[in-house]
Homo-oligomer: A and B are copies of this chain.
Amino acid sequence: MTSSRPDLSTSTATDSARVADVVTAMRAKRPLVQVITNFVSMDLAANLLNAAGASPAMVHDPQEAAEFAGLADAVVANIGTPSPRWADGMLAAASTAHDRGSCWVLDPVAVGATGYRHELAGRLLEHRPTVIRGNAGEILALAGISGASRGVDSAAGVDDVADRAAALAAELGCVVAVTGSSDLVTDGTRALIIDGGDPRAPMITALGCAATALVAACCAACDDPLYGAAGALAMITAGIGRAGARADGPGSLRWRLLDELSTLTADQVAAVTVRS
């Protein structure tokens, strides 16, 4: 397949306004998000959704995962602590979300680390996620699985990630969100880059997993998942930036983020730099 590298030009007021509108719409809807996630991220993902204005529900078992997906506004499948029974729940919920036409988001945690994660991610991709959210290494590993890349480049630069993320998005017909010191969101033809945050954010375990859950919430409240994903990441970027100004380390950065998200205004979200 051909690579459709997005054009990364200058920032526009329109993009910032659109991501802020997504946040407003998400809070107005208060979407019910079914979060099937790893054990480490449960607490933060649920509290971050609550603080941001969404409604989390951790419903994972095959006995009820598909039934609940029929009620939920969006579904998250996160493979951070996978096991066969949880995988069955993820697959059932993702399948239901796909069939209903509701948003579902894949978080391929450490997909390159073991054969089991590789195989599970491949099975989940068959249910066509609306958005995939990962770090650069995970997105490159996933591109290797999907065929858009030949493998994992652990030392890959940002340009290389942008290229492959766009190719992955185009191939799968989804949005790919790559988070790091800057965040990239692409659907294969369009791309948005979000700058900001705090250098200590990576010390908050599972912040990426919680971001994935907020991406699902925001995509449930707008028609364009490119801006849905960007809205969620801009919200976290704004919150972390404000929290970081007063935090002494990762412990205080975490609770200050929750405090900030609960009172963040649309103007504060719109102040985040969004480049397209």
A260 to B147 CA separation, bound complex (whole angstroms) = 44
Residues of chain B within 8 A of A57, CB atoms compared: 110, 113
Contact residues of A between 64 and 98, Cβ < 8 Å to B: 64, 67-68, 71, 80-85
Q: List B contacts of A110 (CB < 8 A).
A: 57, 59
Name which of A51, A85, A203 has the most chain B CB atoms within 10 A of its CB.
Answer: A203
Interface residues of A (CB under 8 A from B): 38-40, 42-44, 46-47, 50-51, 56-61, 63-64, 67-68, 71, 80-85, 110, 113-117, 200, 202-206, 247-252, 254-263
Min Cβ gap A92→B in Å is: 12
Residues of B within 8 A of A257 (CB): 251
Q: Is the CB of A83 within 8 A of B71?
A: no
Q: Quick one: closest B residue to A38, CB to CB?
A: B58
- How distant is the Cα of A51 from the Cα of B84 in the complex, in angstroms? 31
User: CB-nearest residue of chain B relative to A65?
Assistant: B114
- A68, closest chain B residue (CB): B114
The residues of B that contact A61 with a CB separation of less than 8 Å are: 81-84, 116
